[in-house]
Amino acid sequence: MRKTSKNLREIVSAGGMARVMAAHDPLSAILVEEAGFDGIWASGFEYSAAMGLADVSLVSMAEHLNNMRHMAERTSLPIVADIDTGYGNAINVLHTIEQYEAAGAAAVVIEDKMFPKVTSLVEGGRQDLISIPEFQGKVEAAVSARKAPEFLIIARTEALIAGRGEAEALQRARAYEAAGADMILIHSKQKTPDEIESFIDNWDGEVPIVIVPTAYPQMTEARAKSLKKIGVLIYGNHAIRAAVTGMQQVFARIIEDGGIQNADADIVPVSEIFRLQNMDQIKLDEGRFLR
Amino acid sequence: MRKTSKNLREIVSAGGMARVMAAHDPLSAILVEEAGFDGIWASGFEYSAAMGLADVSLVSMAEHLNNMRHMAERTSLPIVADIDTGYGNAINVLHTIEQYEAAGAAAVVIEDKMFPKVTSLVEGGRQDLISIPEFQGKVEAAVSARKAPEFLIIARTEALIAGRGEAEALQRARAYEAAGADMILIHSKQKTPDEIESFIDNWDGEVPIVIVPTAYPQMTEARAKSLKKIGVLIYGNHAIRAAVTGMQQVFARIIEDGGIQNADADIVPVSEIFRLQNMDQIKLDEGRFLR
Amino acid sequence: MRKTSKNLREIVSAGGMARVMAAHDPLSAILVEEAGFDGIWASGFEYSAAMGLADVSLVSMAEHLNNMRHMAERTSLPIVADIDTGYGNAINVLHTIEQYEAAGAAAVVIEDKMFPKVTSLVEGGRQDLISIPEFQGKVEAAVSARKAPEFLIIARTEALIAGRGEAEALQRARAYEAAGADMILIHSKQKTPDEIESFIDNWDGEVPIVIVPTAYPQMTEARAKSLKKIGVLIYGNHAIRAAVTGMQQVFARIIEDGGIQNADADIVPVSEIFRLQNMDQIKLDEGRFLR
Amino acid sequence: MRKTSKNLREIVSAGGMARVMAAHDPLSAILVEEAGFDGIWASGFEYSAAMGLADVSLVSMAEHLNNMRHMAERTSLPIVADIDTGYGNAINVLHTIEQYEAAGAAAVVIEDKMFPKVTSLVEGGRQDLISIPEFQGKVEAAVSARKAPEFLIIARTEALIAGRGEAEALQRARAYEAAGADMILIHSKQKTPDEIESFIDNWDGEVPIVIVPTAYPQMTEARAKSLKKIGVLIYGNHAIRAAVTGMQQVFARIIEDGGIQNADADIVPVSEIFRLQNMDQIKLDEGRFLR
């Protein structure tokens, strides 16, 4: 069942815009695939949240990596792995890339924040960036460490998040492309797409842009496609938000009702979980191999 | 934030019936606590499902244990750990109990199936039980290995699930109580509570009964309390079913809408995830300790 | 640095006898490679011992697997992974093979003991075997689960260890070959090679034999080669015994001397550890990528 | 077998100097205890080396922590955990301390290097220190996060290693004591004890000093005790160096001899490994609990 790492590069260069949905465990990754998305975002934010921890570099690389490996084992979509700052400096990046590629990722996103990072969308969060040359060194390390040329290095600049303005965002994006990045992820926490659209209008590089329209839901896929330079659109945290919503509602109902007599009808039956777990295959295998 | 293992024994002997809800990761455990349940069921079924694997002893003890430890670190409710068959024979049980108690569990449930097990509710599943003396040895090992007397050993008989009938179920329950079990979990996959209620009517032991009313949702908490011998009622898989339901609906909506413009309003905002992650505490700590 | 899984099959079919040395962590695996052996034995016994645990199925599959993966990442020799009984029944074997092959093993050894097992060489150890048809099912599952045909399934019979006699050992070996095993490992705890040599004399199958001459050190490589049917000779536990010997002697010396003034000269310098850790490469990489 | 975290503070305040030996896995920790040392150094250098990795912050906190937890489970000596820089900033330190204390450490050593670090003794290694106020914040975070007052926070200054001179080393040591450190570890890579002895002569703080005499083996325990202010003497890497020496010699012998016929007598027998694994206890437990 282990997937062959698909070529996200092909998907993108075929002119399409890949829609990539966040996941926080292998089951949510399976659901992403079944729903019809083009890729899985192995999100650091979602995984931290699933662990009950703030997204401030508390989760170890080994833990996020292991979770991503299990996603890759159970799905066939390309996985875009969120490696935050690369878990240290350029030396760490060499190790990190080697590990994520071997574990089945199709791409990584590495960001120009200072380690340890603070999650991007929180109000009043500390947002320190490292220098352009230092981050170029990290991108070069990532490019140097990959084995397969179709493994994508996506450089993420947090210049807009950090309030550095569009000019610096463009300067950083150009510098990261020059260092070898295959795509540029530009993040924004504005409530409208204006900031992002202006950046994209003024983007004069060759490589495609990646966006994460969490704060500005007006950015539909149709609108994003009309911008023409967008290679990947990442839905960054909707799996964990949907899961929390589902659990909060069902838990409240059970507490209120003093039982599952009503909640039972609101949720998928146990047999649906069996299907997602491939229990039918287990029964076939028992028939073949158990004596 | 590491919890002091609470005394589930006290909760039960105070006459109340503890309502325990399943969780599959630290975040779902946090939601169980916030919703008002009395304990957390560190479910093997839910954890296997979250890993995208069938519940047939594929997940390693070290993995389930580690997940349970993180739940214990982030919550204060007592955790009832599902240790399946104890991960082997009575020697494994000694090691397993030592590990789960140290990791913060308040109780374990150990079942009389043969290792490797097949999940209980699947239609046509292989359901082999070990002999009564062999399982008594496992219960005695568990009792012998615990450090704190308030750590509960709950013996689960699958006699009804395996179609062995009530007489054998009662015989096994008595034998397990004699071996030192603090409670007896009796499981059933009948669509009505009749089988369970008959067992409870005929139960002549001293220790309380634990039930898992998944297949027979008519068994409300009020009805269970009226039976008078029930110490714990476990909601065995409603967290993962609620999470899957939530994600399937939201993913379908986003695919259909070609964006998050509508789905955004159906799910909790990002700020709710920040709250669950304790981001406010992080900001306070940054103020105190970052220079 | 991740190795491409080498074709142990080729090494063996070229007529040579592969000498495979046990390892218990990536460092000992590196030393095995540097010393000139042909392969690495990812030993369950050594790993259990390194964890301070008895070799009775206490270590989880996920832990041994993870250790083996790290060995594969840091070495280029083929790794023969000791998967004990396959961590359960034939269904577990399907999962286990998938995981070990993906993690970089070149071969696995699976044995016909009952799970949980007891280590083979301990005096008076419980040694229960599963039936021939049941173990054939496990071998067939292993063969069915492998992706690459050069990945070797080595079936290990403990018939001699369990006192079942040569006739049953041969019967089992033939049955396992019929089920698809690529080699047969025959284990013995006799103090001389007689039992093993007699078995090999009477072996009429096609596939090569694997031996583990721990109890009978008279079995040199020259003597083993003269037997002509031996494909692999495994040194099963000499890495951990050498490491323990080294540490016990040096610790005793330091305690006795009240310092390291003498012990320092008896052990490799710190610079030798730096060499094994590839510190020189780190310095080169810092020069290239740190700004 | 889980140890109650011993009070290293008592050992030290009783006037004695604790001798603490490095370990890299539970087995080496067991050997440290059997040899008669007073504590176990859960060394980051040794663990990195055992993983086959350079000691430059490549190993994840979760991995080192897990290894330390297993050491604590199998031994009763106090464990001094090497947490490098605390795995990030002061926020990470809060999390790290919580985790290590819960996992059974008796003390931690945290150092004033910049993350990611480079190991101290390598020639020409990059050695950047963070500012005094920033490190004070980390020490204060550590003190604030511990649950038990007897859990020791040892602040390690790399001022001498970084070539900053004795004045700065003393200034840093005083500042770290003011921030709440229970002891000061002063490290040196000079080939003689002069630098360390001068520092100690000029140390005017209240808290004891910790030394790691790897580079200057002339510093015997007797000489260290004569300095009067030394609370703990750590043998920082002699376990891994002894293990490597033992394996290299035995592997070479086996390759040279073409067999184990001679090497067998040079190393401990298999039965010694069984003893270290507590196989006798397993047999007793089988007698009690297996039916």
The answer to whether A60 contacts chain D (CB < 8 Å) is yes
Domain ranges of chain B: 6-238, 244-289
The answer to whether C95 contacts chain B (CB < 8 Å) is yes
CATH number of B6-238: 3.20.20.60
Give residue B8's pLDDT: 81
Reference B27, options B242, B245, B285, B286; nearest CA is B242
Contact C60 B62 (CB under 8 A): yes
Name residue, tokens 């030996």: D21
Contact C58 B95 (CB under 8 A): yes
What is the dihedral sign for C-alpha C11, C12, C14, C17?
A: positive
Chains linked to B by 3 or more Cβ pairs within 8 Å:
A, C, D
What is the mean predicted confidence (pLDDT) over D160-166? 95
List CB contacts (< 8 A) between C57 and chain B: 88, 92
Contact D291 B140 (CB under 8 A): no
The answer to whether B254 contacts chain C (CB < 8 Å) is no
- At A106-156, the pLDDT tens digits run 999 999 999 998 888 888 888 899 999 999 999 999 999 999 999 999 999
**Structure tokens belonging to residue A215:** 């704060």
The answer to whether B88 contacts chain C (CB < 8 Å) is yes
Residue B4 pLDDT level (bands cut at 50, 70, 90): very low
Could you say which of A25, A38, A55, A182 is catalytic?
A55
pLDDT in tens, chain A (291 residues): 334 445 688 878 777 899 999 999 999 999 999 999 999 999 999 999 999 999 999 999 999 999 999 999 999 999 999 999 999 999 999 999 999 999 999 999 999 999 998 888 888 888 899 999 999 999 999 999 999 999 999 999 999 999 999 999 999 999 999 999 999 999 999 999 999 999 999 999 999 999 999 999 999 999 999 997 999 999 999 999 999 999 999 999 999 999 999 999 999 999 999 999 999 999 999 999 998
Task: Yes or no: say if A143 and A179 are a contact pair by the CB < 8 Å rule.
Answer: yes
> Could you give the CA distance from residue A139 to residue A125 in angstroms, rounded to a whole number?
25
pLDDT in tens, chain C (291 residues): 334 445 688 878 777 899 999 999 999 999 999 999 999 999 999 999 999 999 999 999 999 999 999 999 999 999 999 999 999 999 999 999 999 999 999 999 999 999 998 888 888 888 899 999 999 999 999 999 999 999 999 999 999 999 999 999 999 999 999 999 999 999 999 999 999 999 999 999 999 999 999 999 999 999 999 997 999 999 999 999 999 999 999 999 999 999 999 999 999 999 999 999 999 999 999 999 998
What is the mean predicted confidence (pLDDT) over D100-113? 97
Residue D40 pLDDT level (bands cut at 50, 70, 90): very high
List CB contacts (< 8 A) between B50 and chain A: 25-27
Q: How far is A91 from chain D (nearest CA, A)?
A: 8
Q: Residue type for B195, please?
A: E
Residue B122 pLDDT level (bands cut at 50, 70, 90): confident
Question: Would you call A106 exposed, middle or buried from its count of C-beta atoms within 10 A (0-12, 13-18, 19+)?
Answer: buried
Interface B–C counts its CB contacts (< 8 A) at: 41
The answer to whether D278 contacts chain B (CB < 8 Å) is no
The answer to whether D252 contacts chain C (CB < 8 Å) is yes
List CB contacts (< 8 A) between C71 and chain D: 52
* Residue A25 known to be catalytic: no
Cα separations in angstroms, A99 against A92, A181, D51: 11, 19, 14
List CB contacts (< 8 A) between C70 and chain D: 51-52
pLDDT reading at D5 higher than 80: no
3-state secondary structure chain B: CCCCCCCHHHHHHCCCCEEEEEECCHHHHHHHHHHCCCEEEECHHHHHHHCCCCCCCCCCHHHHHHHHHHHHHHCCCCEEEECCCCCCCHHHHHHHHHHHHHCCCCEEEEECECCCCCCCCCCCCCCCECCHHHHHHHHHHHHHHCCCCCCEEEEEECCCCCCCCHHHHHHHHHHHHHCCCCEEEECCCCCCCHHHHHHHHHCCCCCCEEECCCCCCCCCHHHHHHCCCEEEEEECCHHHHHHHHHHHHHHHHHHHHCCCCCHHHHCCCHHHHHHHCCHHHHHHHHHHHCC
Residue B13 pLDDT level (bands cut at 50, 70, 90): confident
Half-sphere exposure (Cβ direction) of A159: Cα atoms closer than 13 Å: 25
Q: How far is B245 from chain A (nearest CA, A)?
A: 6
Per DSSP, helices labelled H in chain C are 8-13, 26-35, 44-50, 61-74, 90-102, 132-145, 165-178, 194-202, 221-226, 238-257, 263-266, 270-276, 279-289
Using a cut of 0.90, tell me whether the model's pTM lies above it.
yes
List CB contacts (< 8 A) between A291 and chain C: 90, 131, 133-134, 136-137
Could you say which of C38, C55, C82, C182 is catalytic?
C55
Judged by average pLDDT, the poorest of A229-238, B4-13, B234-243, C180-189 is: B4-13
pLDDT reading at D145 higher than 80: yes
The answer to whether D50 contacts chain C (CB < 8 Å) is yes
The answer to whether B141 contacts chain D (CB < 8 Å) is yes
- At D49-97, the pLDDT tens digits run 999 999 999 999 999 999 999 999 999 999 999 999 999 999 999 999 9
- Return the residue of B nearest to C94 by Cα: B58
Contact A91 C141 (CB under 8 A): no
The answer to whether A137 contacts chain D (CB < 8 Å) is no
Interface B–D counts its CB contacts (< 8 A) at: 72
* Mutation target among A187, A250, A271 for the B interface, most CBs of B within 10 A: A250
